[in-house]
Amino acid sequence: MKKYMRITAMLSAVGMMTAMATACGSGETSESSKGSESYFEAGTSSEEILKTASAAGKIGNWGIGNEYELLALLTKYDLPNEFVSQSFDMDSFDDDSLMLASAMTYNELGLVKNDYDGGYGYGDTVGVIDMNEEGVAMLEDNIFCTKAFAQENPNTVKAFIAASMKGWEYACENPDEAADIVFNYGSSVSPDHQAYMAEEVAKLVTTNMEGEDVGLENLGQMEEGAMQQTLDLAKQYVKLDDSAAAEKLGTLELDDVRDTSYWEAAVADDFGTPEKTDVTIQLKWLPQAQFMGYYVALDKGYYDEVGLNVTITPGGGDISETTAVYNGTVDFGVTWFCNLISADAAGMELLEVAQVYQRSGLQLVYKLKQD
């Protein structure tokens, strides 16, 4: 059985978010225990698949911040808010411990489908339930800083957004080259998987939750409907241990956690000389195509063009991107919108200034019965 450590953003919980997973662990299953009950006929409805997998206790998620979409999906179909704690590989899907496994389109889904090193080679013999299509999607990677930093360094923020979006535009138009650039900066995954990731990440950056092209001129936009949906779901499903933070979460409005004016000025090239020229951005995880726009902007000299000297700091391990920005270790960070919402409920006073991903990359993958 192939083992592959999942490369994904280890979402910070701001020290207060509690996972709602049913901790039962998947364990190992022998080849002989694989059964046809874990496979579904093509055309089976999402509701039927979810009900079957829920009754069997075989729905998985990592419980690191994107479980809220799954909880919303289960609620939509009047199912118990329970799931198995999924490991950071897809072995539990491969050995049928899970009927429905969580998978990011740009990462685990590629490993399930493809047969390159680390892949499981299922090809088109799998189906997916898409959070966007189900109406329970939440926005992921954005650019943020502290409110104080933005107020004190408005031109720096606008310049950083402008150069970063130029990098994302180039990356989305040239994903193969972008994958090579990231690989040369110390990629955490193989070249083949990096190339797959770049193609899929480009889709998340250029397509909205309704499946519409956002247009390259609108990269980084903070679309009202998608942001409000994310905030509403966060209020419903994020559970904070601290009572004051939980109360504040319930009162947050979009304008408490984001400011569109910096992005609007950036895309219009309406900014002056940066107040601070040496800046650092903290990523959520190790170098990979999930963050290709920043590496392209650095490699192509786009940050230099706007007068910035940018350092990209990889994440991983115990690094919390929200804490790193909050305590001033770095100037900018990449996080998921629900994570920033939780951080602000905790009093961190962070501010989203650009929304890079326009749709959710989370899907549930299942096996199809074969003739």
Q: What is the pLDDT of residues 3-23, one digit of tens each?
A: 333 333 333 333 333 333 333
Quick check: 337 and 140 in contact, CB under 8 A? yes
Question: Would the pLDDT of 35 be above 60?
Answer: no
pLDDT of residue 328: 97
pLDDT of residue 36: 57
Q: What value does the mean pLDDT take over residues 269-277?
A: 97
pTM higher than 0.85, yes or no?
yes
Q: Band of the pLDDT at 261, cuts 50, 70, 90?
A: very high
pLDDT of residue 30: 33
Q: Roughly what angle, to the nearest 10 degrees, separates helices 337-345 and 243-251?
A: 120
pLDDT of residue 188: 81
Q: Band of the pLDDT at 338, cuts 50, 70, 90?
A: very high
Distance (Å, rounded) from C-alpha 183 to C-alpha 211? 29
Question: Would the pLDDT of 28 be above 70?
Answer: no
Q: What value does the mean pLDDT take over residues 45-68?
A: 96
Domain assignments of the chain as residue spans, ordered by start: 31-138+362-368, 141-355
pLDDT of residue 187: 85
Comparing 110-114, 145-149, 318-322, which segment has the lowest mean pLDDT?
318-322
Q: What value does the mean pLDDT take over residues 305-318?
A: 93
pLDDT of residue 4: 31
